[in-house]
Amino acid sequence: MKKNSHIFKRTMVRLLGNERYQSVSVPLFAIALSLLAGAVVILFLGKNPLVAYQNLLQGSGLLPKPSYAGFKSMLTDFASFLNAWTPMLFASLSVAVALRAGLFNIGVSGQMLTAGFLTTLIVGYSSLAAPVAKPLVLIVGMLGGAAVGGLIGWLKHQFNINEVVSSIMLNYIAQYVISFFINTYYVNPVSRQSNAVSKAARLTLMDTPVGNLKMDIPLGIVLALLAAFMVKFLLDRTVFGYEIKCVGTSRNAARYAGIHVGRTMVASMVCSGALAGLAGVTYYLGYFGSIQPRVLAGTGFDAIAVSLLANSNPLGIIFSSFLVTIISKGSTYMNSSSGLESEISSVITGLILLFSACGAFIRYKVKEFQDEQKEETERGKG
Amino acid sequence: MERIIIDGLSFSLPLFIMAIGGIYSEKSGITNLALEGLQGVGAFVGALAAVLAAGSFADQSQAPFYIAVIFAILGGMAYSLLHALLCIRFKANQVISGVVINILAMALTAFLTKYLNRSVFGAASDKFVLGVSARITVPVLSQLPVLGAAFQDLYPFELIIVAVALIAWYVMDKTRYGMNLRACGDNPHAVDAAGVNVGQVRLLAVMVSGGLSGLAGICFAYSISANFSSSIYVGYGYLAIAALIFGNWTILPTLGSCLLFGFARSGGYYLVQKLQMPSSYSDLVMTLPYVVTLLLLIFFSKYNRAPRALGEIYDKGKR
């Protein structure tokens, strides 16, 4: 028994001991643990976990499926995957910016919905031409999201209201108020959703014929990838980014250093809200073309997992959001091909969250093992 | 008027007992945003027990309800151990841990409900149907003018909640454990110096919050929705947190804020019915408790004094 624990400690140190790579190795460890836990659950349900995970990749267009319908191929699946990835990337960046300032923006879903609804009303139902409508969608979406995000930051700064509580309240208020407006004025009687937005305002070119395929081309993905690099630059290379980091690490120290803590908090929430707004427009005017009343997008909550997993590093987020989107996007195909409930995917995402929340503990334990070993070797020498 | 009081009470009391759970946890120094998930898992376990047990009782029997209550409390407690593990042993960020637990609870219960319905009960459904529990009217007191409505058409769980709340108040304010608990939230080092295990006190407090949240969850399931489904997650856990912040982490004022939420909600529904507005207006009414919460927090959070060591990881070596 003692020997086993010794081997376990040795492997842990060898795998995760190098501090330079810990920002990558610890999240990878968390992912591996949660995929393993998910596999155990799937095994327990009497299904083959390898096939299930393969189905996830197939559903995301990363592996070929055994058969395709007309006008469809792996490429169309992948385009549709990119379409779903875009809002996830924006939403995760939004969570990350707030997290850097020590704020926990759990209201991304509400900000997405508000931005999506405002944009749908102002641009989506107008008859503007595409070259005007598409940029306008982005601008209105950013402003709408930024307003809600800023409000949360201001409430925190001015009245010391816990941002988690206020953003949850705003989530529900947005959800019900917008559902009221949709059901009263803009409902499509057949689909029970809001009326579809005009084609010109849509951020995804739907059913575009390419060769012998019909693809959904998401325009937002380019912008989302660009945004990841811009946020990285903003956080790591500008004064504002430095101030955000200071406030996030220690509010008192930041205050002594002469940083306007309140202003920085509000500003970071405005940025976070604007990114959430972009997530909203790429979701409601890109991936979907309409809004389902009374439902908040799960993206905003999955984004927390993504951001924690990447330790709120914008470039890490590109990878972690890719992974989480595979899990959520591929689950539909997994459901139809191996009969597993598609909810299992959100369980796996939840497990990833759980294990990445333990990241600090894993690091601490590995350090402890390392020190133990060092002591032992020194004793061996002496 | 009577309906407002009756419906308001049946909403505020479960909220109140959940808020008491939150007070226990937060007074001991553990931020508990996990109430939402705890009540959901508690309700899930309770509902499952009730559905499994329902076959062996007569149709009108209330026994499944009491079984459900017991199992909901146990389920909430068991799930809260996860929060305790993350916050006390693994020293994770308590806010993050709470949110993680909520998200995991939502995913797990939605998945398990669907899976169990299909494999055990052979029905493709995403809910456990429970029905609404029977109501009782207290004979003499209900004849009182105006206040009498508070004793009419009571759900049995309202009586349970009042009893549990009294016990919770006694333990918190009058016993040695309660004193240690409150001290843990303000100065854990002093508690440690007095020879009491801080981690243990906090663990118990989190478990109490889990049990009470589970109780609240099954009460919501048996009254408002009449079934268990993922619609149980509509933010009542967060409302309870707002209520306890507004109640300044003390039990009696928290009851006041819970009653306010309850009456705001039932009053709103009453208005929609009375003015014969179309049903989509009930969406607007649904926002009332949330709006009231935000406004109250704006006006009152300045006077609040949170437990001093709230949300801080207890580190023996630190001073």
- Contact between chains at B104 and A351 (C-beta distance less than 8 A): yes
Is residue A354's pLDDT more than 60? yes
Q: With contact defined as beta carbons under 8 Å apart, do A34 and A348 qualify?
A: yes
With beta carbons under 8 A apart, name residues in chain B contacting A308.
96
Residue A301: closest C-alpha in chain B: B103
Contact B99 A304 (CB under 8 A): yes
Size of chain A, expressed as the number of residues it contains:
382
What is the pLDDT, as a whole number, of residue B59?
A: 66
pLDDT at B269: 82
Whether B298 and A179 lie within 8 Å, measured CB to CB: no
**What is the predicted pLDDT for the residue at B19?**
95
Q: Rounded to whole angstroms, how far apart are CA atoms A138 and A149? A: 16
Give the span between the Cα atoms of B272 and A194, in whole angstroms. Answer: 24
Lookup: tokens for B291: 């709006």
Confidence of residue A44 (pLDDT cuts 50, 70, 90): confident
Q: Is residue B265 part of a domain?
A: no
Q: Give the residue from chain A lying closest to B97, CA to CA.
A: A357
Sorting pLDDT into bands at 50, 70 and 90, what band is A173? very high
Instruction: Kindly tell me the sign of the dihedral angle through the C-alpha atoms of A175, A313, B311, B313.
Output: positive
List of residues 6+ apart from A323 with CB closer than 8 A: A31, A309
CB–CB of A165 and B301 under 8 A? no
Residue A109, SS3 per DSSP: helix
CA distance B112 to chain A (A): 9
Contact state of B103 with A104 under an 8 Å Cβ cutoff: no
How close A131 comes to chain B (CA, Å)?
Answer: 36
Considering CB atoms only, which of B115, B287, B294 is closest to A177?
B287
For A202-224, write each residue's pLDDT tens digit: 888 877 787 777 778 888 899 99
- pLDDT at residue A136 in the model: 93
Q: Please report residues of A whose CB lies closer than 8 A to that of B86.
A: 354, 357-358
**Does the model's pTM come out above 0.95?**
no
Tokens of A276: 């959430």
**Which residue(s) pair with A205 in the sheet?**
A217
Is the residue at B118 inside a domain? yes
C-beta contacts of A220-223 below 8 A and 24+ residues apart: A220/A86, A220/A87, A220/A90, A220/A278, A220/A281, A220/A282, A220/A286, A221/A82, A221/A83, A221/A85, A221/A86, A221/A89, A223/A86, A223/A138, A223/A278
| Greater pLDDT, A7 or A233 | A233
* Residue B276 included in any domain: no
The CA–CA distances, whole Å, from B303 to A252, B248, B297 equal 21, 8, 10
Average pLDDT score over residue span A347-351:
86
Interface test with A, best of B89, B111, B310 (most A CBs within 10 A): B111
Mean pLDDT estimate for chain A: 87
d(CA B251, CA A249): 34
Q: Is residue B248 part of a domain?
A: no
Range A260-283 burial, b when 16+ CB lie within 10 A, else e: ebbebbbbbbbbbbbbbbbbbbbb
Among chain A residues, CA nearest to B114:
A341
Q: Is the ipTM of this complex over 0.90?
A: no
Nearest CA to CA, how far is A303 from chain B (Å)?
11
B60 in a structural domain: yes
What pLDDT shows up at residue A239? 93
A329 pLDDT band (50/70/90 cuts)?
A: confident
Interface membership of A160 toward B (CB under 8 Å): yes
pLDDT tens, position by position, for chain B (319 residues)? 777 888 888 889 999 999 999 999 999 999 888 999 999 999 999 999 988 887 777 666 778 888 899 999 999 999 999 999 988 888 888 888 888 898 899 888 988 888 888 887 777 777 787 777 777 777 766 777 666 777 777 788 888 899 999 999 999 999 999 999 999 988 899 999 999 999 999 999 999 999 999 999 999 888 877 788 877 787 888 889 888 888 888 999 999 989 988 888 888 888 888 887 777 787 888 788 888 888 888 887 777 777 888 877 787 776 5
Give residue B77's pLDDT. Answer: 95
Q: Are A180 and B280 in contact (CB under 8 A)?
A: yes
Instruction: Measure A304 CA to nearest chain B CA, in Å.
Output: 9
pLDDT-derived band at A298, boundaries 50, 70, 90? confident
Say if B317 is an interface residue toward chain A (CB within 8 Å).
no
Domain span at B156: 2-134+151-241
> What's the pLDDT score for residue A137?
93
Shortest CA gap B89–chain A (Å): 9
Is-contact B12 B261, C-beta < 8 A?
yes
In a domain, B300, yes or no: no
- The number of domains in chain B is 1
- Looking at per-residue pLDDT, the higher value among A20 and A250 belongs to A250
What is the set of domains in chain A, with CATH numbers? 24-381 (1.10.3470)
Q: What is the pLDDT of residue B91?
A: 81
Q: What is the pLDDT of residue B8?
A: 87
**Does B264 contact A at CB distance below 8 Å?**
no
Asked, for residue B263, whether it belongs to a domain, the answer is no
Mind telling me how many Å the CA of A335 is from chain B's nearest CA? 12
A212 contact B CB<8A: no
Residue A382 pLDDT > 70, yes or no?
Answer: no
| pLDDT for A2 | 62
Determine contact: A45 vs chain B, CB below 8 A. Answer: yes
All residues at 6 or more sequence positions from A35 whose CB lies less than 8 Å from its CB, including other chains? A53, A348
**What number is the average pLDDT over the span A344-363?**
83
| Residue B185 belongs to some domain of the structure | yes
**Interchain CB distance below 8 Å, A357 and B283:** no
Provide mean pLDDT across the span A13-25.
Answer: 77
Best of B286, B296, B304, B310 to disrupt the A interface by mutation (most A CBs within 10 Å)? B286
3-state class of A209 per DSSP?
strand
Q: pLDDT (tens digit, 9 = 90+) per residue, A108-141?
A: 999 999 999 999 999 999 888 888 899 999 999 9
> Coil, helix or strand for A213?
strand
Q: Percent of chain A scored above 90 by pLDDT?
A: 34
Average pLDDT over residues A267-275: 96
